Amino acid sequence: MNHMDTILLTRQARRWEDGLPLGNGRLGMMPWGRVGEEIIVLNEETLWYGPPRSRRNPDGRAHVEEIRDLLRKGQTERAAFLAKMAMTGTPKYNNPYQPVGELRIYVAGQQGKYADYRRMLHLPTGTYYQEYSVDGVVYKREMFVSRAWQTGVIRLWTEDPNGRLTLCANIGRKPFEEETGCVEERTAGNWGQNGVGGVRYFSAVRMTADAPVRTMGDFVYTENAREAVLFVDCETDFREDGGREERFREICLERLRSAETAGIEEIRAIHLEEYRGLYNRMDIRIGPEESEVAVLPAVSTDVMLDSVKSGDPSYFTALTVLLLRYARFLLISSSIDCRLPANLQGLWNGSYEPPWQCEFTVNINTEMNYWFAEKSGLSECHMPLFRLLDRLAENGRETARELYGCEGFVVHHNTNLWANTDLEGCFDASPFWVTGGAWLSLHLYEHYLYTMDAEFLRNRALPVMREAIRFFEGYLSEDQNGYLVTGPVVSPENTYISRAGQRSALCMGPTMDASILRRLISWYLEGAEISGTALTEKERTNLEMILKKLPPLRISGDGRIMEWAEDYEENEPGHRHISHLFGLHPGSEITSEKPELFAAAEKTLNYRLSHGGGHTGWSKAWITCFWARLDRGEEVERNLREFLLNSVQDNMLALHPPYQIDGNFGMAEAILEALIQSHEGFIRILPALPKAWEQGALRGVGLRGGLTADMAWEKGKLCSFTVTAAEDGSREFVYENQRKILFLKKGEPVQITF
C-alpha cells in the first residue's frame, strides 16, 4: 500500500459523509470506522421512497404556445408566471433515494480508550481495513462488497492470544423503522414497505464465528470469539418492467446462506479476481516509478490535503493520482452489474431527506458521472445509464405527447428510480429544460466511438437517438431570424436581465440546446451511414434542414460566447453552470482550429471565474475540463489545486457542498483530458500537461476510434507511445506540431515515435 493508492485516515468518522465507501454497483456500505459501536450505512440502489407517479400538469399543453408568444414579445415575467402554474409538475417533486438503514455492530469492552487507530481504503483491491489497539491488544477489521455473492462482507478479528471479541449486530432505519426481528438462525433483519405503494424491502445480517452464534430480540451475537464474519444484504421488490418481485425476501436470504456456505476466503478470492479485472485495465503514474513504494503510507490523506492547503507542493502529484484511481474505484463500486446509474452521491446516501432527493440530475450531473467511463477502461460501467435511458425513452414518449403534443420522447432535468420524465420543482431556472433525453442519447454514440461496436450502434444507439430527435422535429419553432429554436426553456439554472429589466430564466433558443442538437443530429446521420440504416429521402432532407437552421454559436459584443439568443446581461455573472461552453466540453465544435470561437470560449471562462465561478466541486471539475480542452496546462494545475483546497473532504469525496460524487468523476475526466484527447477526429497527445506533471505514464487509456494507448513522458516530453486498435483503419496522431497518419490493424500494438 502507498499514499497514491490508499486513502488513510487516523480518526473515526463523525458523520456518515466521513466514512469510506464500498459497493458492488447494487449494494453499498459506508463504514464510519468507530471502535466500540461501529455504524455502517447501507444502501441498495432501488430503495427509493414512494410509488411511481405521473406528475404531468394537465394544463401544460393548452398553454405552451401562449408562453412561447409571450417570450417572443419579451414578456418574460408574464411567461414565467404562466409556466409556473401551467407546466410545473403536480405534485412538484420526485420522492427521494433513501438508506436501507444502519448496520450497528456493538463491541463489548471497547467503549473506552483505544490507540494506534487507522482506517483505510485500499483502491487496488476495493477493500476497507481498520486497525486499533485496546489495552495493548490489536483488533482488525476487513470489509468489501462481493459482486459474485451480492453481499457485503465484514470481518472482525484479533491475532492476539489475549484478545477476544464479544459483539452483537442489528439493522435499524430510524425514523423509518417498520419491522425488525430474527428471521432464521444466526440472522437478524429489518423489513417493510417504503411508503404507500413504494418498494417493499428486506435487509438482513448473518453472522459466523469461531464461537457459538445466537440471536436475541432483533440482534445476532457471539461471545469470546477470536474472529467473527458478518454477511449483509438487502433486496427490494422493484422490477424494471413495472411488476413486483414477490420472492425478494427469499432472494436476500438465499444470498446470505450461500455466502456463509462459501466462506470469506472463497468470496474474497473471487472478489479480488473480478474487481482487479476492471481496476487493473488502466492506471496513471505521475513522478518517478520509485516514488510508489509498496509500504503502508506514513502520511494520512487528511494530512496530505492540509499540506496542499498550506502551500506545500509535496503531495500535489500524489493526490492527483489518488483522485483518478479513486474515481475509477467509485465508478466500479456504484455502476457495475446493476440496474441504475450512479446518482448525485453515486450509490451512497445517509439521509432520508438527502439534498436534491439524491436523484439523477441530467442537466449535467449524471452525464458528468460518465464522461470518463470509456477512456478509463470501464465501458461496462456505462451500461446502467443506458438501461435507465431505455426506460426514460418509454416514459418520455407519454410526456412528449401529453405535455407538448410531440412525437418522440422528452426528459426534463431530474429523474428517479421510476424513470419519471415530467418537470420537477418550481424554481424558475430549473424545470423548464427539455434536452435531457437528447444529451443522454449522446452517451450511446460515445460508447460506440470508443468500442466500435457496430451491433450496439445499429440496435441500441441509433433507435434511441432517432426518438430523441423526433421530439424536436415537432417541438422546435422558428424565431424572427429564421432559426429553429427550443422554447419555452432555460439555460440550465442560470438567469439573465431581460430587455424590460426583469430577472428572467425562461427563454427561447439558448446556446446549449443548439449545441446538443447539432451534435445529436450530426452523429445520428453519421451513424446511420456507418451502419447502413436506411433513411427515406424526406427524413434525411428534414434532418439536414434542421441542422442548417439551428442557431450557430454567437459571440457577444465583448467577445464572449453568448449563452442566450440575445446578448443579455447575466444576473449572476459567476454562475456555477457554464452551459454555453458545451461546444468546448463535452462537445467538440469549439476547437483550436476555429480560433475566433476558441478565443471567445477562453474569454467566457475567464469572465465567469473573475466573478466567483467554480465555487462548487462539480463546476470546478467542469472548468478544469474546459482548460484542458483550451490546452492550458498551467490552468489545469491551478484549478486542480483549488479543487483539492476547497472541494474535497478528508476522505477525498467531492463537495458541491454537501458531498456530491460528480466532482470526483468530473475531475478524473479533466486529468485524462489534460494528457490525451480524441474528440476532434484525431488523437492529440499531451495537449495540456501541467508543469508539476513533468514525468509520468498512462496505461490502458481508451480513445475514440476504438483505440487503447500506453504512453510515458519525461521532463515534459513524450518518450513512448503505443496504441492498439479494435478495428482496422487509418488513425491520425498529433504531438506538438507533428502529425502522423497510420493504418492500424485490429489487435496489433504499434509504437509511434515523434
Cα separation, 750 vs 721, whole angstroms: 8
pLDDT digits 0-9 by tens, 541-594: 999 999 999 999 999 999 999 999 999 999 999 999 999 999 999 999 999 999
pLDDT value for 4: 85
Flag whether 296 is in a domain: no
The residue range of the domain holding 71 is 66-90+359-550
Amino acid found at 467: E
Classify residue 19: in a domain, yes or no: yes
Strands 496-497 and 503-504: antiparallel
| Residues 77, 21 within the same domain | no
Distance, CA of 42 to CA of 87 (rounded, Å): 37
**pLDDT at 292 > cutoff 90:** no
Whether residues 421 and 528 share a domain: the answer is: yes
126 and 237 within one domain? yes
Q: Which of 172, 193, 176, 192 lies closest to 50 in space, CA to CA?
A: 193
With respect to residue 563, please indicate whether it lies within any of the assigned structural domains: no
The answer for residues whose C-beta is within 8 angstroms of residue 637's C-beta and 6 or more apart is 690, 691, 692, 693
* Within a domain: 706: yes
**Domain stops at, among 643, 674, 705:** 674
pTM of the model: 0.97
For residue 425, pLDDT beyond 80? yes
Are residues 719 and 642 part of one domain?
A: no
- Same domain assignment for residues 395 and 457: yes
Residue 577 lies in a domain: no
Q: What's residue 290's pLDDT?
A: 55
Cell numbers standing for residue 489: 426553456
Q: How far apart are CA 292 and CA 280, in angstroms?
A: 16
What are the distances in angstroms from CA 319 to CA 286, 293, 693? 10, 15, 12
The answer, yes or no, to whether residue 740 has pLDDT greater than 90, is: yes
Q: What is the per-residue pLDDT across 179-233, written as a single tens digit (0 to 9) for each? A: 999 999 999 999 999 999 999 999 999 999 999 999 999 999 999 999 999 999 9
Does 525 share its domain with 654?
no
Average pLDDT score over residue span 478-491: 97
| pLDDT tens-digit map of 448-475 | 999 999 999 999 999 999 999 999 999 9
Beta strands in 465-505 (DSSP E): 477-478, 484-485, 496-497, 503-504
Number of domains the chain contains: 4
CATH number (domain holding residue 154):
2.70.98.50
Using only C-alpha atoms, what is the Rg of the chain?
A: 26
The reply to whether 76 and 104 lie within a common domain is: no
On whether the CB atoms of residues 408 and 467 are closer than 8 A, the answer is yes
Q: Are residues 124 and 252 in the same domain?
A: yes
Q: What is the pLDDT of residues 688-718, one digit of tens each?
A: 999 999 999 999 999 999 999 999 999 999 9
Question: Does any domain span residue 125?
Answer: yes
Residue 712 domain-assigned (yes or no): yes
**pLDDT tens-digit series, residues 311-362:** 888 899 999 999 999 999 999 999 999 999 999 999 999 999 999 999 999 9
Looking up residue 509, the CATH number of its domain turns out to be 1.50.10.10
86, three cell numbers: 401551467
Q: Are 392 and 440 in contact (CB under 8 A)?
A: yes
Position 32: which residue type?
Answer: W
Domain contains 302: no
Say if residue 670 is in the same domain as residue 744. no
pLDDT at 295 (0 to 100): 47
Binned at pLDDT 50, 70 and 90, residue 296 comes out as: low
Q: What does the block give as the cell for 45?
A: 440502489
Residues 449 and 534 in one domain: yes
Looking at the structure, tell me whether residues 106 and 162 fall in a common domain. yes
Query: Residue 143: beta bridge partners?
Result: 128, 154
- Of 231, 255, 274, the one marking the end of a domain is 274
pLDDT of residue 312: 86
Amino acid residing at 203: S
Give the domain-ending residue among 274, 308, 332. 274
Strands, E assignment, 135-186: 137-146, 151-157, 165-172, 179-184
Same domain, 167 and 71: no
CB 169 within 8 Å of CB 203 = no
* Amino acid at position 39, single letter: I
Arithmetic mean of pLDDT over the chain: 96
DSSP output for 323-337: HHHHHHHHHHHHSSS
Alpha helices per DSSP H over 611-655? 617-629, 633-646
